[in-house]
Amino acid sequence: MLGSTIINRRQHVGLQKLSALAGITHSSLGPHKKYKFIQDDRSGESALVCSCFRILENLELTCAVGQLVYQTIQVHQKVYHTGSGCLLFLAGAWSRVALECLQRGISVAHIISAMSEGLDICFDVCRKFNISTEGFGAEQSQSSKVTSQDLGLQVSKKLTMEGSQAWTGLKGNTRDALKTLNACGQKKIRLSRHFCEAKSENISNELEEHQPKHPDIKYISERLSHGCVDAMNLVFEASRTQSNSIQQDTSCPTFDITKVMTCVLPGLPEEQACVTPGCILLLSAEQASVAHHLKDQLLKVVLINGDLSFNYSHLGFKRPTGIQRVSEETALSSSSKEEDWMEKVVMLLLNLEVDLILVSGLVSEKVIQRCSRHHILALEKVNVSVLKGLADASGAVPVTYATQLSKHCVGAGVKVAIWRDLSSYERKPSIAVNISTGVNSKLVTVVLTSCIEGKLQALEDQFWACAYRLHLALKEKALLPGAGVTEMLCIHHLQKQAERDSSQQTKEAAVANPYRSVVLHLMADGLIDYLSTVMVNTGKFSKVQAWTAVSQQLQACNQSPGVLSKFSELFLEAEKEGRAMSLPVKSPDAPSTNVFDNLSVKQEAWRKASDLVFLVLQTDAEVITGIDQKTEAAQGNLTLL
Partner 1 sequence: MSRFVKKSPSICTDRPLDNTDVCTKLRLLKQLLRSCFGPTGRLKHVHNNIGGHVVTTSTSSVLLTAATSSQPLINLIKSSILHHVSRFSDCGLFAAVLCLSLIEEAKQCGLRRNVNKHLLGVCTAYLQQEDCGCKVPLDFCSSQDLITLSRSVVSSKPACVLTEAEALHISRLAVRAFLLTVPCNSPGTVTLGRIVSVGVEGHPVLNSEVFPGLLVEMHDVFCLKTAENLRSEPLRVVLFSASLAGDLSELGDGIIQVHPGVDTDSQILDQLLELCERVIEDGVKLFVCQKVIHPVLQQYLRRHGVIVMERVGISLMEPLALLTGALPVATLHTTIPAKAYGTVKEVSVKEFGSKTMLHLEPSGESAICTMILCHRNETMLSELKVVCQQTEHVLRLTLREPSALLGGGCTETHLAAYIRHKSMEEVTEKASALGCSQTEYLLGVEGFCRSLESVAAALHHDGGNSLIDLTHAHHWTLPADAMTENMEDSSGLCCGCGLVKSGPKVDMKWTHLNTEHPQFSPAAVLKDRPVQPHVLDSFTAKINALQVAVETANLVLDVRFVIQDTN
Contacts of partner 1 in 189-208 (CB under 8 A): none
Which residue number, 380 or 604, has a Cβ lying nearer to partner 1?
604
- Phi, psi (degrees; rounded to nearest 5) at 249: -100, 175
CA–CA distance, 228 with 579 (Å, rounded to integer): 9
Which residue number, 249 or 508, has a Cβ lying nearer to partner 1?
508
Query: Could you tell me if residue 306 is left (phi over 0), alpha (psi between -120 and 50 degrees) or otherwise beta?
Result: left
Among residues 34, 293, 314, 366, the one that binds partner 1 under rule CB under 8 A: 314
Stretch that binds partner 1, among 133-141, 222-230, 390-398, 471-479 (CB under 8 A): 390-398
What single DSSP character describes residue 189? Answer: B
Q: CB 447 → partner 1: shortest distance, Å?
A: 25
Rg for the chain, CA atoms, rounded: 30
Q: Is 329 in the site for partner 1 (CB under 8 A)?
A: yes
Among residues 88, 391, 444, 479, the one that binds partner 1 under rule CB under 8 A: 391
Among positions 248-307, residues that touch partner 1 (CB under 8 A) are: 305-306
3-state secondary structure of 305: coil
CA–CA distance, 97 with 103 (Å, rounded to integer): 10
208-244 as b/e: b if 16+ CB within 10 A: eeeeeebbbbebbbbbbbbbbbbbbbbbbbbbbbbbe
- Phi, psi (degrees; rounded to nearest 5) at 143: -120, 100
Q: CB 511 → partner 1: shortest distance, Å?
A: 6
Q: CB 322 → partner 1: shortest distance, Å?
A: 4
Among residues 327, 503, 504, 559, the one that binds partner 1 under rule CB under 8 A: 327
Among residues 38, 48, 64, 418, the one that binds partner 1 under rule CB under 8 A: 64
Q: CB 370 → partner 1: shortest distance, Å?
A: 22
Among positions 579-608, residues that touch partner 1 (CB under 8 A) are: 604, 607-608
Q: Is 42 in the site for partner 1 (CB under 8 A)?
A: no
Q: Is 417 in the site for partner 1 (CB under 8 A)?
A: no
Q: Is 614 in the site for partner 1 (CB under 8 A)?
A: yes
Among positions 513-532, residues that touch partner 1 (CB under 8 A) are: 514-515
- Taking alpha carbons only, the member of 314, 338, 301, 300 closest to residue 401 is 314
Query: Could you tell me if residue 369 is left (phi over 0), alpha (psi between -120 and 50 degrees) or otherwise beta?
Result: alpha
Among residues 248, 324, 424, 503, the one that binds partner 1 under rule CB under 8 A: 324
Task: State the chain's maximal CA–CA distance in angstroms.
Answer: 103
Q: How many CB atoms lie within 10 A of CB 457?
A: 18
Among positions 478-507, residues that touch partner 1 (CB under 8 A) are: 507
Which residue number, 143 or 635, has a Cβ lying nearer to partner 1?
635
Q: Is 372 in the site for partner 1 (CB under 8 A)?
A: no
Q: Is 317 in the site for partner 1 (CB under 8 A)?
A: yes
Q: Give the rounded distance of the alpha carbon of 219 from its chain centre.
A: 19
Among residues 252, 510, 544, 581, the one that binds partner 1 under rule CB under 8 A: 510
Beta bridge partners of 433: 281, 418
Q: Give the rounded distance of the alpha carbon of 51 from its chain centre.
A: 11
Q: CB 587 → partner 1: shortest distance, Å?
A: 39
Q: Which residues contact 130 (CB under 8 A, 6 or more apart)?
A: 190, 478, 479, 480, 599
Q: Is 632 in the site for partner 1 (CB under 8 A)?
A: yes
Q: Is 627 in the site for partner 1 (CB under 8 A)?
A: yes
Q: CB 563 → partner 1: shortest distance, Å?
A: 33
